[in-house]
Amino acid sequence: MLNNRPALPDSLIQTVVSEALVEDKAKDDITTNVLQNENLTATGQIIAKEEGIICGLELVIVVFKTLDKTITWEFLKTDGETIKKNELIGTVRGNASAILQGERVALNFLQHMSGIATLTNQFVRLSKNEFMILDTRKTTPGLRDFEKYAVRCGGGVNHRRDLSSMAMLKDNHLSALNKLGIPLKQAIQNIKNKNPDILVEIEVDKITEIEEAVNAHPEWILLDNMTPSQIRECVALIEGRTKIEASGGINLKNLRYLLNTGIDAVSIGALTHSFNALDISLECIFES
């Protein structure tokens, strides 16, 4: 698993923000250009419209600073903190046109990432610290690092970032090995020979597969789409010889059934593909 709270690289933030502004044609804002007054300034108040976990404030800064380097800001919250309905999160101040041009892009990032952080935090609180809440690679193309950062801000832990970060032998890999006549233990040894520092995880969806998987000496076993009673049986069979992850169909309603099963982690794709964007607004006060 990856470290829990590394910051996002400045260069990555700038690249993605710049692409988003180009996509929105911020500098060609027909509506805002009608103002035609460089002396008009504004204070944009960023306000929470619902309770949640804030995430993505650094991107807000970069959005507005990219449009106008003289923009100033003051945030009353930091990423990972709880926000309440109607609470002032912070302000941006400066050229009114720049604030209006960047408003939607800034809010898109903030609402998107805060939505992920908020949903993750709901799972974390329900877990009662019995096991880690992990994300998956089911992320928006091009935004993976931002979405995984949001998971960390919500109290979750990142699973592998990409295909080179960890070896996971899932159902299709296992079928391919079987077709080729390569024993599971030999496959893992081959991985370790080439990548001695890489963790290996094996997916298991039948209790009868547990012993073979454990004897192949992975660091993790993934129990896929198993019932709580099946998970408990698998935990008893594994006897602490590997770490155990559960996955498949887990949601806020049924997570509690995994308490007291003895697992180490639960991975949830919904954290980054089925969240609701947090409702946040930017309301401007104009000055001239």
Spatial separation of the C-alpha atoms in residues 221 and 185, rounded to whole Å: 14
Residue 37 pLDDT: 76
Residue range 221-240, pLDDT digits in tens: 999 999 999 999 999 999 99
Q: What's the pTM value of the predicted model, to 2 decimals? A: 0.95
Question: Strand order in 88-95's β-sheet?
Answer: 72-75, 88-95, 41-48, 280-287
Residue range 6-26, pLDDT digits in tens: 689 999 999 999 999 999 999
How much of the chain is in helix, strand and coil states, percent to nearest 5?
A: 45, 20, 40
Residue range 129-181, pLDDT digits in tens: 999 999 999 999 999 999 999 999 999 999 999 999 999 999 999 999 999 99
Angle at 7 (CA atoms; ends 63, 244), nearest 5 degrees? 130
Band (pLDDT 50/70/90 cuts) for residue 118 is: very high
Residues in the chain, how many?
Answer: 288
Distances from the Cα of 215 to the Cαs of 169, 184, 199, 261, in angstroms? 14, 9, 15, 22
Residue 6 pLDDT: 67
Do the beta carbons of residue 89 and residue 83 sit within 8 Å? yes
Residue range 263-287, pLDDT digits in tens: 999 999 999 999 999 999 999 999 8
Spatial separation of the C-alpha atoms in residues 123 and 82, rounded to whole Å: 15
Q: In this structure, which amino acid lies at residue 61? A: I
Average pLDDT over residues 212-216: 96
Would you say residue 1 has pLDDT above 50? Answer: no
What average pLDDT does the structure give for the chain? Answer: 95
Tokens of 30: 């027909």
CA 245 from chain centre, in angstroms, equals 18
Q: Is 30 exposed, middle or buried (0-12, 13-18, 19+ CB in 10 A)?
A: exposed
Would you say residue 2 has pLDDT above 60? Answer: no
